[in-house]
Amino acid sequence: MKQFLKRLYSLIKPFWGNKANWLSWLIFAVVIGIGSGIAYINVRINEWQKGFYDALAKIGDIDINLIYSLLTEYFIYIAIFVVINVYRTWLRKLLIIRWRESMTEQFIGQWLANNIFYKLAQRKQMDNPDQRIAEDIRLFVEYSIELTISLIFNLIQLYSFLMILWNLSGQPEFTFFGHTFVVKGYLVWVALIYSIFGTIITHLIGNKLHHLNYRQQVFEANFRTSLIHKQDNAEQIALYKGQETEKASLANEFKQIVGNWRLLMNRERNLGFFTVWYDRFSLILPVLFSIPLLIAKIATFGGLMQIRSAFGVVLNTFSWFIFAYSILPKWSAAISRLSQLKAEMEALEKELKAEVELTENIVDTQKLTVFTPENKRLLADISLSLAPNKWVRLKGQSGLGKSTFLRVLSGIWDFYQGSYRLPKKQGLLIPQRPYLNDGSLAELLSYPNCNTYSEAELNACLEKVKLNQWVNRLDEVHNWQHIFSGGEQQRIAFARILLNKPEVIYLDEVTSNLDKDSALALMQLLKEELPQASVVYISHQEELAALADEEIDLGSYRPV
């Protein structure tokens, strides 16, 4: 429990502990104030019930004027109740979206800062951080607000009705084995004992729901991610005729959802058997225990209706845990998943290496050894010092670690020993498969500096990289990954280089999907358009070797 409360506090503190969110505190206070108003109306209706039902009980001597007066009073209560209850719901939703917006911004900021998202993907220790940010934050915020407000409202209701029920219980006497006992407020004790019994049984039946809900969220997220992956690679799957394989893969993943769902529904069914019985029996419970009061003429028929209403409120308050149990496991599962993501991101932030020194050189390493995330050595003891304003080609057989070495040089790969220094000049690494962001063609070309370049500049770049058919179509929006071929995607990458004009460029097989003439033309375009740029590139196309001022064979750094 201590660990759970610590996790909960770490999640709520950034928003509710920030003085800038005073308006949310005010909204919360108004919601609680409205809850107090509803509790007051419920007290008035409870008192109204005694007069109304006592009036109805006078068979043959019903005062019609009194009935009309009581009904008018009741309609006034209901009208006020409807208005303030609707606004309470509206304000609660406003509170939810304000908190969710802030928390989502916080998590996304932390996830994207310092390449944390990239490092999480490398380590593969955290499943579906995207689902945790999108779905678990929503569940956590909604359930936190709902549970907190309902708990406080129930405590207000308890404060309002406890003494009412206590006084309505009278002081009945019970005789057991010749001894007479006077039980003050005995209906309160009945409600308390009944709720304690219900709480214990509810927990015994439902204590495994937390684990099952956690697993369900994991399986659902995995299945959703797989579907997205299939959609993103639809053409490749179709070309391989891999539909049946993918169908079987998805079926196996969905079996996990179905299997866990059956366990979950069976456990919830067992819990439902008890909670529904508990709820329905509680409706007759105050009547049964009020019979001695009727026999002793302590209570009238109207008083019985008042007791029934007050008992229901007090019992519901005592039974808050039971009725909240259906969402408590989902809430606690969301807390666990968000806390894990938060802890993992914070751990990665602490692991950030000291700020890398800067140099005038484009490559500057001292006894650098490069590893995979699994701690396998790829390259060892690399000591290089290459002056700027030249083109350098890195060569070596496939799988050697050339691309990983390039990522170390660009400053995004943490799995290394030794040291390296980053160029002082602006650098940019272009991978073999460029990232195609959502948005218009103009935003695609400008990435990551959207809304920076004029239409003339963008159209000129399209012409230079031989994508003339897209000139003057900058406002069009498509699923670009499915529109552009592999070669066209790489032409987009060259257009981005021309627009960004980096001074140090790292190229990782950026022409692998182009024919040799097109590849050579684009690389020569870079030389012409960015003559002052320093370029470190990897390519297995021998036609591009002549562009290099210097070649480095990384095969000589293969670990023994």
Q: Is 97 helix (H, G, I), strand (E, B) or coil?
A: helix
Give the span between the Cα atoms of 378 and 384, in whole angstroms.
17
Q: Bridge-partner residues for 180, per DSSP? A: 175
The single-letter code of the amino acid at 66 is: L
Give the span between the Cα atoms of 413 and 321, in whole angstroms.
48
Of 26-30, 114-118, 476-480, the range with the lowest mean pLDDT is 114-118
pLDDT tier at 373 (50, 70, 90 boundaries)?
Answer: confident
pLDDT tier at 28 (50, 70, 90 boundaries)?
Answer: very high
Q: In terms of domains, do 102 and 210 share one?
A: yes
The 10s digit of each residue's pLDDT in 404-441 is 999 888 888 888 888 888 888 888 899 988 888 888 99
pLDDT at position 15: 93
CATH number of the domain where residue 10 is located: 1.20.1560.10
pLDDT tier at 465 (50, 70, 90 boundaries)?
Answer: very high
Residue 470: give the domain boundaries: 358-557
pLDDT tier at 62 (50, 70, 90 boundaries)?
Answer: low
What integer is the mean pLDDT of 204-233?
84
pLDDT at position 497: 93
Half-sphere exposure for 18 (CA within 13 Å, toward CB): 13
Q: In terms of domains, do 284 and 389 share one?
A: no
CB 127 within 8 Å of CB 222: yes
- Quick one: tokens of 451? 């809304």
Q: In terms of domains, do 295 and 439 share one?
A: no
**Percent of the chain having pLDDT more than 90?**
36
CB 514 within 8 Å of CB 487: yes
- Quick one: tokens of 525? 């375009």
The 10s digit of each residue's pLDDT in 518-529 is 999 999 999 999
- Quick one: tokens of 104? 């989502």
Of 56-70, 354-368, 424-438, 526-540, the range with the lowest mean pLDDT is 56-70
pLDDT at position 56: 74
In this structure, the strands spanning 179-182 and 391-395 are: unpaired
Of 51-55, 298-302, 419-423, 497-501, the range with the highest mean pLDDT is 497-501
pLDDT tier at 477 (50, 70, 90 boundaries)?
Answer: very high
Give the span between the Cα atoms of 102 and 212, in whole angstroms.
29
- Quick one: tokens of 541? 């196309």
CATH number of the domain where residue 548 is located: 3.40.50.300
pLDDT of 59 higher than 60: no
Of 4-13, 78-87, 346-355, the range with the lowest mean pLDDT is 346-355
Q: In terms of domains, do 205 and 241 share one?
A: yes
Q: In terms of domains, do 21 and 158 share one?
A: yes
The 10s digit of each residue's pLDDT in 242-278 is 888 888 888 999 999 999 999 989 988 888 898 889 8
- Quick one: tokens of 400? 């050697």
Taking alpha carbons only, the member of 198, 145, 493, 430 closest to residue 317 is 198
Give the angle 43-49-52 at the CA atoms, nearest 5°: 145
Burial of 191 (0-12, 13-18, 19+ CB in 10 A): buried
Q: Which of 321, 350, 379 is the last residue of a domain?
A: 350
pLDDT tier at 229 (50, 70, 90 boundaries)?
Answer: confident
Burial of 355 (0-12, 13-18, 19+ CB in 10 A): exposed
Q: In terms of domains, do 463 and 434 share one?
A: yes
What mean pLDDT, rounded, does the chain reach?
87
The 10s digit of each residue's pLDDT in 128-176 is 888 889 889 999 999 999 999 999 998 998 888 888 888 877 766 666 6
Give the span between the Cα atoms of 379 and 399, in whole angstroms.
11
pLDDT at position 299: 67
Q: Which residue has the higher pLDDT, 354 or 464?
A: 464
Q: In terms of domains, do 366 and 344 share one?
A: no
pLDDT at position 321: 87
- When divided into structural domains, the chain yields a total of 2
Q: In terms of domains, do 306 and 402 share one?
A: no
Q: In terms of domains, do 307 and 403 share one?
A: no
Q: Which residue has the higher pLDDT, 148 or 179?
A: 148
Q: In terms of domains, do 496 and 409 share one?
A: yes
Q: Which of 350, 372, 398 is the last residue of a domain?
A: 350
pLDDT at position 175: 63
Q: Which of 308, 325, 350 is the last residue of a domain?
A: 350
The 10s digit of each residue's pLDDT in 440-456 is 999 999 988 888 889 99
What integer is the mean pLDDT of 176-190?
75
pLDDT of 353 higher than 80: no
pLDDT at position 290: 78
User: In the 8-state DSSP scheme, what is residue 511?
Assistant: T
pLDDT of 311 higher than 70: yes
Of 17-26, 125-134, 351-360, 501-510, the range with the lowest mean pLDDT is 351-360
Q: In terms of domains, do 332 and 409 share one?
A: no
CB 11 within 8 Å of CB 335: yes
Q: In terms of domains, do 234 and 340 share one?
A: yes
